[in-house]
Amino acid sequence: MTSGEQRWYVVQSQPNAEHKAVAHLERQGFGTYLPRYLKRRRHARRVDIVAAPLFPRYLFVAIDMTAQRWRSIFSTVGVSHIVCNGDIPTAIPGKVVSALKEREDADGFIRLDHRPNFRSGDKIRVIEGVFADCFGLYEGMRDSERVAILLDLLGRKVRVMVDMGSVAAA
């Protein structure tokens, strides 16, 4: 490895301290990358869209092992430890980080495929909402957020649209 060559390493942060670790690592001159995505959060019958780490408690740090004092990472505020093989930090292929960055949208969030893994006719169960604990047949996606299922209600099949996160395999 030549001087000035940075490679990516994985750092584990303390619980819910990813942003704090990023700030302190950048203050020390390390390059960081914290992949985030937009997560749907339900609380008190409300649904919010919030930014969340793609890999909770983990972030990537670019380090030049020959020029930077990388051992200071161990005592950085917000950092639990750096992933090592013995005493030496384990580098990851640079294409891992570049592949994640390619999936980012204009706002810097990773785009995730929200398609359920069901096929038409699969038996599913509603896990929350008005129809919780009801069983039905998966019919398909109607838009990016809702799935159509056929429920057996009052002796006949009724098509119901529910949130994608509200169903699970039966």
Instruction: Tell me the CATH number at 30.
Output: 3.30.70.940
Alpha-carbon span 135 to 152, nearest angstrom: 8
pLDDT for position 5: 80
Give the model confidence (pLDDT) of 44-86 as tens digits.
Answer: 777 788 899 999 999 999 999 889 889 999 999 999 999 999 9
Asked whether residue 114 is assigned to any structural domain, the reply reads: no
Q: How many domains does the chain have?
A: 2
Q: Are residues 152 and 94 in the same domain?
A: no
Low-confidence spans in the chain with pLDDT less than 50? 1-2
pLDDT for position 115: 62
Cβ contact 167:116 at 8 Å: yes
Q: Are residues 31 and 94 in the same domain?
A: yes
pLDDT for position 1: 43
Give the domain extent around 130.
123-169
- CATH number of the CATH domain containing 136: 2.30.30.30
pTM: 0.68
pLDDT for position 145: 66
pLDDT for position 114: 60
Q: Are residues 29 and 96 in the same domain?
A: yes
Q: What's 109's DSSP letter?
A: B
